[in-house]
Structure 1
Amino acid sequence: MPVAQNYTDLTRQFLKSRLLTDVTSFRGFETEWQHIRDLLSRTAEHGESNSALLLGPRGCGKTTLVSSVLADLLPEKEFFKNTLIVYLNGLIHTDDRSALKSATSQMKLENAVDGKVFGSFAENLAFLLECLKAGDKKKSKSVIFLLEEFDLFCSHHNQTLLYNLFDVAQSAQAPICVLGISARLDVIELLEKRVKSRFSHRQIFLLPKENETEERIMLFKTLLKLTTEKELKELNNNHKPIPLEALQNDEMPLLRRIFDPNDYSFTATWVNQWNKHIDALASNRNVIVVLQNMYNYEVIEGTFKSFLFEIVSQLSEANPWITAESIQLLGQRYDSDDKVLLLCGLSVLELCLLIAMKHHSEIYDRDPFNFEMVLTRYNKFANSSSTMQGIERSVVLKSYEHIKNLELIVPVSGTASKVQKEYQLHRLLLTYGQINQAVMRSQNLPTEISQWAQRCLV
C-alpha cells in the first residue's frame, strides 16, 4: 500500500514524541492515584499537614503517578495559588546543606537572591523552620515537599532535614505535606527512632500485577494508535492547561515536557488506515506471543515503551508500516537472558569449567566447590576428550579466575581469606538452564562438549 513520505515521517515523530515526552499519563493503580491526590489537595485546600511514602520497584511508575496527580491539580486556580511545590532529589542533593539551599531558593524566601542562598547550614535551617512554623493555616501557602530517592536522604548526617520536616508536619505548625518516593520497600527501617516517631507511617505501595497480558495488548494499541478527530475534540474539551510558571520551574522537572497531540495533523483517511493496521497487529498470534513473553520477562511499562520506541524508529519511506516480523525480531533481543549472552562469549575452556561446576552442583545438591574439585571433574572429561587434552594447570586456573571476576561464581561468606586460592570455596550463581542454553547457542562448540553438558553424571 503506497504511503506519502510526509505521513510516515510525521507518524514516526508523533509516536516517538508520545513515547518520550508523555510524562503525565498514568494507567492503573486508581486507588493509589486517588490516595495521593486526596493527600495533596487536603494540604492545599484545608491546610492539613501530612507525610507519606510512595514505594515500589524501579520503573513501576511512582514519579509518573506524582506527575499525573500534579497535572490534574495544578490547573485548579486555588491549588496553584495556595501551594508551593519543593522538589528535592537524593541523587542531586547529597547532603542537608544542598537540600536546604535548594528548598529555600524554590520557596523564594528572603535570604535567597537570584537562586543563591546566604548563611550557614544552622542559620538556613533555623530560617526555613521559622518560615514554616510562622505559617497560618488560613492565610499562608501550603508547602508540598517531594523527596525523590527518599532512601538517600536517610543517609544524611543525623537525618536532620527529615526530622525537622516530619516534626513540622506532625505538630501541624504549618500546612505542609512531605511525600517521599523510594524504590526501597524497607526504607522505613532506615529511619532513626526519633524520625520514625514523627512520621505518620502512611505507606502507599505500587506493586506490578503478576498477570495482565490483556492489558499489555491494550497498551500496545493505545501507545501506537494515532489520535482520531473525535478523541482530539474530547481531549481539548476536558483539557485543563497547566500554568506556564509551573512548567518553567527548573528545580522540578516532573512536568517540564508535556506531550500535545494538537501539534500534529493527519488526514482522517491516514489515521483510519494506520489504526486498522495496529488493530490487525494486536490480533496477530505471533505478535501476541512476543507481547506475552515480554510481559513474563518484564512487567514494567518503561521497558515496554523502549521496545516500542525501537520499533517506531525503524519506520521510513522504504518501511512505512510496522510488521509482525520486525516485532518478532526485536522481541528476541528483549526476551534473551543477558547472562546467557555473556556465557556465549566465553572461551571453550571456560564453558567446560562451567559445565564441570554444573555437574558438581547437580550431584552434591548445590554444595560449594573449589578449584581443585572443578579441575578434577574437568580432567576426567579432558582425558577422554580428543579436543581438550594437554591444557596446562596454570591456564585452567586463569580461566577459573576469569569466571570469578565475571561474578558467575561467588566466594562463600566466612571463608578464611588466608586459604590458598585453589582451595577457597565458591557457589555457582547460574541456573543449569542458563548453562545449557549457552552451550546450545555457542557456535563451533565440539559435539563431545555439548554431549557432556547434557549428561547428569560423569
Structure 2
Amino acid sequence: MPARRKTLSQTHMQMDVDVDNSVDISRAKKAILNRLNGHAPLPALVGLDGPLDSVYSLLNRTVSSAEGNTALLIGPRGSGKSTIVQRSLDMLKQKHDTDTDIDVDSSSVSKYHIVRLSGFVHTNDKIALRDIARQLLIKQDLENILIGSFADAFTYILNLMRSSDDEKSMPPVLFILEEFDLLAQHPKQSLLYTLFDIAQSQQTPIAVLGITARIDVMDLLEKRVKSRFSHRQIHVSNAKALEDFVDIARVALSIDDNEHRVTNAFAESFNRNVSAILTTDFVASFISDIFDFGKDARLLLRTFVYAANKLSNEHPYLQLAHVKTAIARETASAKMQILESISLLEVCLIISMKSLVQSGSSKYNFEMIYNEYKTFMSRHMLATAGGGAMKVYKKPVALKAFETLVELEIVRPALSSALGSDGSAGTSGRNDLLAGSTQGSRAPKEYRMVQMMLEPGQVLDLVAKRFDIPAVIRRWAQQ
C-alpha cells in the first residue's frame, strides 16, 4: 500500500511538471510570435542607441519643457524606425507615469497626448483632421468647422483642448506622422504647413515627428513648408556588422523568465537552444546571405515564424529541422513553389520541352512536345515486361495540362510569334496563346511556337523534390 501511494504521488508530480512546461511553452510561443510578426517590440534595440536617444530627447523636451519641436526620422524600410518611436513613447510613459492609451475621464487631465497619422490612411486633410479630433477626444460636431480652411479648423480643435484645462494651458501634443512622404503629397501641404507653423510659434507645445524611407523627402516640401521646418533630421541605418544582425535574431527569439512569467530553468534552456541554432553553419550562412543582400531585419525575423509556430509539448524548444524547412521555403523562388503542386503529366511535358531544348530546338509547339512525350512513353512501355506499367494520356488531356502550364506562365509564346504584323513587339501574355489567334498568327494553339521559362537545372531540381515521380521519369529528366 505505501508503495502504491508513492507511485501515485510521483504521477501527480509528473503531471504538475507537464502542466508547468505547457504553460511555459505557450507563453514563450506567444511572446516570440508577437515579436516576429511585428505585433510587439523587441526587448532590446541592437545598434540603434543613437537614434533612440535623439528621438526620445526631442519628444521629452516637448513634454517636460513645453518646447515646440519638428524632426524627420529617415531610414530604409526594416531598419527599426517604428520600433525607435514606440520605445521612445514607452520611455516617456514610464518617466511621466501616465497612460496615454486609455481614455481619461473629465476629472483628470493627461500630461500629454499622442496623435498618430499615416500617409496610407489619411489620404486628404479632411480625413486627417477628423482623426486628429478623435484621438484628442474632441467629441463635438465638426461639420461646420470643416467648411473653412484646415488651419482654422485645427486651431479651433486646439482651443477646445485649451479651454477644457483648469489652468488654461494646453497639454503637449506629440504628432507621429508615418509615411511622411505621402502626407507631403496633399494639395498645398496644408496639414504639414499648419503643424510646422504652430510648432514654430511656441504658443502651443507640440512635437511633429515625420517617419519616412525616402532620403529625398525634403525635395517634396514646398518652400513655405520648409521655412517652418526646423530641418532636424535623424537618420537610421541598417545593422553595420554581421554580429549585430545575428543579435537581432537572438534578441527576438530569446525569452526572459521575469517578463514572460516562465520558469528560470526553461528560459535558460530555451535561450541556449536559440544560440546553438543561430551558430550552426546552415543558419549562419543564411543570415550572412540576408545581411549581404539587403540587411532587412523583417525578412530575417519572418524566416523564424514557421519554427516558432511549431513550439508545442512535443517540441518545447526551437528545432533546427523546422528552421531549415523555413529557410528552404524562403530561398525557393515563387515559380518553384508553384511547380511543387503540378501533376505528373505536367512534369512529363516540362521534361519533354527540356529534351527538345537539348536536341537543339529553341522554339517548339504543343505537337512537338506531345510527340516527344509519346515517343518516350511508347519506348518505355515496349521495354517493360508488363506492357502497361505507365499510362499514356491522350492528346486532349495533355493539351489541357499544357494550357495549365501556360496559365502558370511556365510556358510563354516565343518571341517570333509575339510580333505584330508590322514587326513591332506585341503582347505575349497567356491570353494571346490561349485565345483564338495571336497577333500576326492565325495558327491553332497546338501549333503556336512557345518557349519554356525554366532552366535545365530548375527542371532537375523540380524532379528531385518530387517523391511521386517514377524512377524511369527521373532517368529521363537526367538524360
Name the TM-score, length of structure 2 as normaliser.
0.62
Contact 2:71 2:208 in 1 (8 A): yes
Question: For residues 379 and 397 of structure 1, what CA distance do their matches in structure 2 show?
Answer: 9
* 1:113 and 2:142 are equivalent in the alignment: no
Q: State the match for 1:95 in structure 2.
A: 124
Unaligned regions of 5+ residues in structure 1, if any? Answer: 233-259, 363-368
SS of the residue 2:128 aligns to: helix
* 1:56 and 2:76 are equivalent in the alignment: yes
Q: 1:394 to 1:163 in 2, by over 3 A?
A: farther
Q: State the match for 1:438 in structure 2.
A: 462
For residues 211-242 of structure 1, the C-alpha deviation after alignment (integer angstroms, 9 at most, x for no partner) is 62575267436743443xxxx5xxxxxxxxxx
Contact 1:349 1:399 in 2 (8 A): no
- Between 1:144-153 and 1:72-81, the stretch displaced more is 72-81
Q: State the match for 1:6 in structure 2.
A: 19
Contact 2:73 2:209 in 1 (8 A): yes
Q: State the match for 2:210 in structure 1.
A: 180
Q: State the match for 2:59 in structure 1.
A: 40
Map 1:445-456; keep pairs closer than 5 Å: 445=469
Question: For residues 409 and 139 of structure 1, what CA distance do their matches in structure 2 show?
Answer: 73
User: Displacement of 1:100 after TM fit?
Assistant: 0.2
For residues 177-213 of structure 1, the C-alpha deviation after alignment (integer angstroms, 9 at most, x for no partner) is 3222345566556656765675555554444337625
SS of the residue 2:47 aligns to: coil
User: Displacement of 1:6 after TM fit?
Assistant: 2.6
Q: 1:166 to 1:405 in 2, by over 3 A?
A: farther
Q: State the match for 1:68 in structure 2.
A: 87
Q: 1:124 to 1:429 in 2, by over 3 A?
A: farther
SS of the residue 1:147 aligns to: strand
Q: State the match for 1:23 in structure 2.
A: 41
Contact 1:52 1:204 in 2 (8 A): yes
The structure whose Rg is larger is: 2
Question: For residues 173 and 364 of structure 2, what CA distance do their matches in structure 1 show?
Answer: 64
Contact 2:256 2:267 in 1 (8 A): yes
Give 2:272's aligned amino acid: D
Question: For residues 448 and 210 of structure 1, what CA distance do their matches in structure 2 show?
Answer: 51
**Higher RCO (C-alpha under 8 Å, 6+ residues apart):** 1
Q: 1:446 to 1:406 in 2, by over 3 A?
A: same
Q: 1:399 to 1:199 in 2, by over 3 A?
A: farther
For residues 260-306 of structure 1, the C-alpha deviation after alignment (integer angstroms, 9 at most, x for no partner) is 54xx263xxxx236414532552368855235425635855555556
Question: For residues 72 and 81 of structure 2, what CA distance do their matches in structure 1 show?
Answer: 13
Unaligned regions of 5+ residues in structure 2, if any? Answer: 1-13, 101-109, 163-167, 379-391, 440-448
SS of the residue 1:146 aligns to: strand
User: Displacement of 1:343 after TM fit?
Assistant: 2.2
Q: 1:72 to 1:435 in 2, by over 3 A?
A: farther
Question: For residues 170 and 216 of structure 2, what CA distance do their matches in structure 1 show?
Answer: 35
Map 1:54-453; keep pairs closer than 5 Å: 54-57=74-77, 59-77=78-96, 83-108=112-137, 112-113=138-139, 117-123=142-148, 125-130=150-155, 140-169=170-199, 174-183=204-213, 195=225, 199=229, 202-209=232-239, 212=242, 215-216=245-246, 219-220=249-250, 223-227=253-257, 260-261=259-260, 264=261, 266=263, 271-272=264-265, 274-276=267-269, 278-280=271-273, 282-283=275-276, 287=280, 289-290=282-283, 292-293=285-286, 296-297=289-290, 300-302=296-298, 310-329=306-325, 331-347=327-343, 385-386=376-377, 391=395, 395=400, 398-399=403-404, 401-404=406-409, 415-416=425-426, 421-422=432-433, 436-445=460-469
Q: 1:384 to 1:154 in 2, by over 3 A?
A: farther
User: Displacement of 1:341 after TM fit?
Assistant: 1.2
Contact 1:151 1:184 in 2 (8 A): yes
Contact 2:254 2:270 in 1 (8 A): no
Question: For residues 428 and 298 of structure 2, what CA distance do their matches in structure 1 show?
Answer: 46
Question: For residues 190 and 321 of structure 1, what CA distance do their matches in structure 2 show?
Answer: 49
- Between 1:307-316 and 1:94-103, the stretch displaced more is 307-316
For residues 126-165 of structure 1, the C-alpha deviation after alignment (integer angstroms, 9 at most, x for no partner) is 33443599899x9654432112233443454454323433
Q: 1:391 to 1:277 in 2, by over 3 A?
A: same
Percent identical = 24
User: Displacement of 1:4 after TM fit?
Assistant: 0.5
- Cα RMSD of the aligned pairs, angstroms, is 5.3
Give 2:72's aligned amino acid: A
Name the TM-score, length of structure 1 as normaliser.
0.65
Give 1:23's aligned amino acid: P
Give 1:38's aligned amino acid: S
